[in-house]
């Protein structure tokens, strides 16, 4: 099902790869040995830098530790060849050991750094600790690792420089092409979504921790293989191949080259490393100072690095090379049959829910049950705990005590994506979407839980359930699929928000003020869709709403929340006519005036 845009990406990558390979094939015949040697080393480092760009530039994981994987691969080569044996089988074995060790270490780092709720700062510090710990272990390894002196002159393949150049070049082209396909694929859009708004992505059912850990492992393996090649070629390993200074240099190269462009950091790494080889010999301290200044300036003033500027300049001179806007995928209806509500378990049951921040009790024992086909509205003054209630239902780590059951399953301490997997869909109060993604890409994200996302391809079609399509049509979104969401109108953003939640095919829908700031017509359309969801699809819908008229039109039941507990529960009529509720609302108004 390769789409047009997929084909275009394949063609670009194939063309780029073939050109690069051709240049690499003939280059050694035009260069002296010195330059060739420098380039071989630079190629391996560039492959490592590419992984930094995927992690940091695309996914937003600021990693200081990518050098550690390079070091692991390099030491696997040196240790096996020095102490155990040398030969084709030993070489393959050493490479396998290096890659496996890198995978294992990356998995541990992932477990430590990417758990649900970990701050990006914490993850960065963990990646910073990784090379520090690794280097300390190498130092403590005594004769076995060669300690500070490293290992050198172990047996290796004394192939000609050209051969090594071709191997290193081919490896770089291979991993860069794969990297390019990855970031241009549907899966690549998911990485960008994680960078732009991790919380939102989690609530769309995207398994953030798993994706980040997997990415870390893949990057680790690519880095370890590069390190292996580096060690086999240079015949030397030293602790500095895995240390944190190299890790930060990788970031500097990525930033200068242009993060999130892949080709920028790769060329940046090669360019800077080669320049350093010629210049740093004569200007050792000054060179480092200038790099430092350039780095600060680029981070502060040119966060996208130098590549986009160069790219634009080239595009300006040679118009055909200008980036064309990506072709958008088309929407096709998906067959949506929500899980039929089981008889003994209601879709959503909340049992004695308590939520407390420090000494402040926001929810003090809330009970509620929502049946399939029912629309439960929660009303109450500001600060009553409505949004907190939603948060506690959709994220297992939020509540202090009590139980929440979805389709009869207790949510435990599950992260948002695991609760989404149970069938809960949640929309947010603010319209904080993924600004650099297009409408179609946002919908594709939302379908990740149902349809997945190919790693190295783009799909031509996005399957959408009928109610989501209704919303799209009602808000005019179906005509702007290729538009970046940052430039949508408020109403369209609200509509997209709702369409995305529906695209996850939830059986329980949590909506936090979905109609705030909308026109009357838009509100009516949304009300109509909600009715259809409950009546035709049997969804259980929980709605937070201030607009009592809207509530009255579509609700089956209403819960009034006040100061963290359920003040009243009943039918629309009962609640609307209640003196108590009126008192609460007028009380709020008095407070608001004061």
Partner 1 sequence: MKRSVFLSLLLSVTATAALAQDPIKIGIPVGLSGANSVVAPSVVQSAELAAEEINAEGGILGRPVELIVADDGSGAQGAQRAFDSLVFREGVDVLISMETSAARNAGLPIVNRGRVPYIYTSFYEGKSCSPWMYVNAWVPEQQVAPIVDHFMKEFGAKTYFLIGSDYAFGRGMLEFTRQYVEDSGGEIVGEEYLPMDGSDWTAIISKLKAANPDALITSTAGGAPNVTLTKQLRAAGVSIPYGNLAVDEGTAKSMGADANGIFIAASYVTGIDSEENKTFLDAMKAKFDGDLNTPNDLSVPQYEAVYLYKAAVEKAGSTDPQAVIDALSEVSFTGPRGTVQMNKQRHAPLTMYLGQVQEDGSVEVIQSFANVDPGDQCPQLAN
Partner 2 sequence: MSILVLDIVTTAAILFAVASGLMIILGVMKLINFAHGAFLTVGGYTAFLTTEAGITPWLSAPLAAIFGFLAGIVIERLVVRPLYSRPLDAILATWGLGIVIGQVITLTFGREVQFAASPMSGTFDFGAIDYSAYRIVVTLIAIAIGIALTALFYGTRFGLQARAVIMNETLARGLGIDSGRVRTLTFGLGAGLACAAGALITPLLSVDPNMGLPWLVNSFMLVLVSGVSIPSLALASLILGGAQVAVSTYISPIIGGLTIVVLAAFILRINPRGLGLG
Near partner 2 by CB under 8 A: residue from 4, 15, 33, 133: 133
- Which of partner 2, partner 1, none sits in contact with 125, Cβ below 5 to 8 A by type? partner 2
Q: Is 236 in the site for partner 1 (CB under 8 A)?
A: yes
Which is closer to partner 2, CB of 126 or CB of 183?
Answer: 126
- By rule CB under 8 A, what count of residues binds partner 1? 35
Footprint of partner 1 on residues 84-143 (CB under 8 A)? 136, 139-140, 142
Which is closer to partner 2, CB of 2 or CB of 283?
Answer: 283
Taking alpha carbons only, the member of 586, 543, 540, 542 closest to residue 562 is: 586
Footprint of partner 2 on residues 23-62 (CB under 8 A)? 60, 62
Residue 203 and residue 220 in contact, taking contact as beta carbons nearer than 8 Å: no
- Which of partner 1, partner 2, none sits in contact with 516, Cβ below 5 to 8 A by type? none
- Which of partner 1, partner 2, none sits in contact with 281, Cβ below 5 to 8 A by type? partner 1
Residue 548 burial (CB count, 10 A): 17
Footprint of partner 1 on residues 28-47 (CB under 8 A)? 32-34, 37-38, 41
Which is closer to partner 1, CB of 146 or CB of 311?
Answer: 146
Four-CA torsion 49, 53, 55, 61, nearest 10 degrees: 110
Q: By CB under 8 A, which span of 282-290, 325-333, 360-368, 572-580 interacts with partner 2?
A: 282-290
Q: Is 413 in the site for partner 2 (CB under 8 A)?
A: no
Which is closer to partner 2, CB of 124 or CB of 565?
Answer: 124
Which is closer to partner 2, CB of 110 or CB of 538?
Answer: 110
- The crossing angle, in degrees rounded to 10, of helices 263-279 and 244-257 is 120
Binding string, residues 421-450; x marks residues near partner 1 by CB under 8 A: ------------------------------
Q: Tell me the pairing of strands 557-562 and 375-379.
A: parallel
Q: Is 104 in the site for partner 2 (CB under 8 A)?
A: no
Provide CB contacts within 8 A for 475, sequence distance 6+. Answer: 491, 492, 494, 495, 496, 522, 525
Q: How many Å is the maximal CA-CA distance in the chain?
A: 91
Considering the complex, what minimum distance in angstroms separates the CB of residue 289 from partner 2? Answer: 4
264: left (phi over 0), alpha (psi -120 to 50) or beta: alpha
Footprint of partner 1 on residues 295-334 (CB under 8 A)? none
Considering the complex, what minimum distance in angstroms separates the CB of residue 56 from partner 2? Answer: 8
Which is closer to partner 2, CB of 78 or CB of 250?
Answer: 250
Near partner 2 by CB under 8 A: residue from 76, 252, 353, 422: 252
Q: Is 282 in the site for partner 1 (CB under 8 A)?
A: yes
Taking alpha carbons only, the member of 512, 343, 310 closest to residue 425 is: 512
Q: Is 239 in the site for partner 1 (CB under 8 A)?
A: yes
Q: Write out the DSSP string of 525-586.
A: HHHHHHHHHHHTT--EEEEE-S-HHHHHHH-SEEEEEETTEEEEEE-HHHHHT-HHHHHHHH
Near partner 2 by CB under 8 A: residue from 10, 115, 405, 585: 115
Near partner 2 by CB under 8 A: residue from 161, 235, 248, 429: 248
Considering the complex, what minimum distance in angstroms separates the CB of residue 68 from partner 2? Answer: 13
Considering the complex, what minimum distance in angstroms separates the CB of residue 67 from partner 1? Answer: 11
Q: Is 122 in the site for partner 2 (CB under 8 A)?
A: yes
Tell me the residue length of the chain. Answer: 594
Considering the complex, what minimum distance in angstroms separates the CB of residue 487 from partner 2? Answer: 19
Q: Is 107 in the site for partner 2 (CB under 8 A)?
A: no
What is the rounded CA–CA span in Å between residue 571 and residue 463?
37
- By rule CB under 8 A, what count of residues binds partner 2? 39
As given in the structure block, the two tokens for residue 169 are 């070049």
Helical residues (DSSP H) of 331-438, grouped into ranges: 386-394, 416-422
Residue 284 and residue 246 in contact, taking contact as beta carbons nearer than 8 Å: no
13: left (phi over 0), alpha (psi -120 to 50) or beta: alpha
As given in the structure block, the two tokens for residue 299 are 């981070």
Provide CB contacts within 8 A for 154, sequence distance 6+. Answer: 78, 81, 82, 86, 235
- Residues of the shown chain interacting with partner 2 in the complex, contacts defined by CB under 8 A: 60, 62, 111-112, 115, 117-122, 124-126, 128-129, 132-133, 136, 139-140, 248, 251-252, 255, 285-286, 288-289, 291-293, 295-296, 299-301, 303, 358
């Amino acid at each position: 099902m390769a789409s047009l845009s997929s084909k275009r990406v394949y063609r670009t990558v194939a063309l780029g790869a073939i050109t690069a390979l051709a240049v690499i094939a003939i280059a050694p015949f035009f260069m002296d040995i010195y330059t060739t040697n420098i380039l071989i080393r630079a190629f391996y480092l560039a492959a490592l830098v590419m992984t930094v760009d995927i992690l940091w530039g695309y996914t937003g994981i600021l990693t200081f530790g990518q050098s550690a994987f390079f070091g692991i691969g390099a030491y696997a080569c040196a240790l096996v060849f020095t102490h155990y044996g040398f030969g084709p089988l030993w070489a393959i074995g050493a490479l396998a050991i290096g890659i496996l060790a890198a995978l294992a270490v990356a998995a541990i780092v992932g477990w430590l750094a990417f758990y649900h709720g970990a701050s990006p700062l914490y993850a960065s510090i963990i990646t910073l600790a990784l090379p520090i710990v690794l280097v300390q272990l190498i130092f403590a390894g005594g004769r076995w690792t060669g300690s500070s002196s490293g290992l050198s002159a172990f047996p290796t393949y004394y192939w000609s420089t050209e051969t090594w150049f071709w191997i290193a070049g081919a490896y770089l082209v291979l991993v860069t092409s794969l990297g390019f396909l990855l970031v241009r694929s549907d899966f690549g859009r998911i990485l960008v979504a994680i960078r732009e708004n991790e919380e939102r992505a989690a609530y769309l059912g995207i398994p953030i921790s798993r994706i980040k850990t997997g990415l870390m492992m893949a990057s680790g393996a690519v880095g370890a293989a590069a390190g292996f090649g580096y060690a086999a070629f240079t015949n030397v390993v030293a602790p500095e191949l895995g240390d944190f200074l190299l890790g930060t240099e990788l970031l500097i190269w990525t930033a200068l080259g242009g993060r999130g462009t892949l080709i920028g950091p790769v060329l940046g790494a090669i360019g800077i490393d080669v320049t350093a080889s010629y210049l740093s010999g004569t200007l050792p301290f000054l060179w480092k100072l200038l790099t430092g200044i350039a780095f600060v300036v680029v981070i502060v003033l040119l966060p996208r690095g130098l590549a986009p500027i160069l790219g634009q300049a080239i595009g300006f001179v040679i118009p055909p090379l200008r980036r064309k806007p990506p072709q958008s995928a088309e929407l096709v209806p998906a067959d949506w049959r929500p899980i039929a509500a089981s008889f003994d378990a209601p879709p959503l049951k909340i049992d004695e829910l308590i939520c407390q921040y420090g000494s402040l009790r926001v929810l003090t024992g809330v009970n509620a049950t929502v049946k399939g086909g029912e629309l439960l509205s929660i009303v109450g003054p500001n600060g009553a705990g409505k949004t907190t209630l939603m948060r506690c239902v959709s994220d297992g780590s939020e509540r202090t005590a009590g139980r929440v059951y979805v389709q009869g399953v207790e949510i435990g301490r599950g992260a948002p994506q695991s609760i989404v997997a149970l069938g809960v869909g949640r929309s947010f109060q603010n319209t904080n979407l993924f600004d650099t993604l297009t409408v179609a890409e946002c919908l594709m994200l939302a379908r990740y839980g149902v349809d997945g996302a190919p790693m190295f391809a783009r799909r031509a079609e996005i399957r959408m359930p009928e109610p989501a399509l209704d919303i799209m049509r009602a808000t005019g979104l179906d005509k702007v699929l290729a538009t970046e969401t940052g430039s949508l109108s408020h109403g369209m953003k609200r509509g997209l928000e709702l369409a995305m939640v529906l695209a996850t095919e939830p059986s329980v829908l949590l909506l936090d003020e979905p109609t705030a700031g909308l026109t009357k017509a838009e509100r009516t359309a949304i009300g109509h869709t909600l009715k259809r969801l409950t009546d035709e699809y049997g969804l259980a819908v929980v709605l937070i709403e201030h607009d009592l008229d809207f509530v009255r039109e579509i609700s089956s039941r209403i819960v009034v929340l006040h100061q963290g507990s359920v003040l009243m529960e009943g039918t629309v009529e009962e609640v609307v006519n209640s003196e108590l509720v009126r008192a609460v609302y007028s009380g709020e108004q008095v407070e608001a005036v004061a």
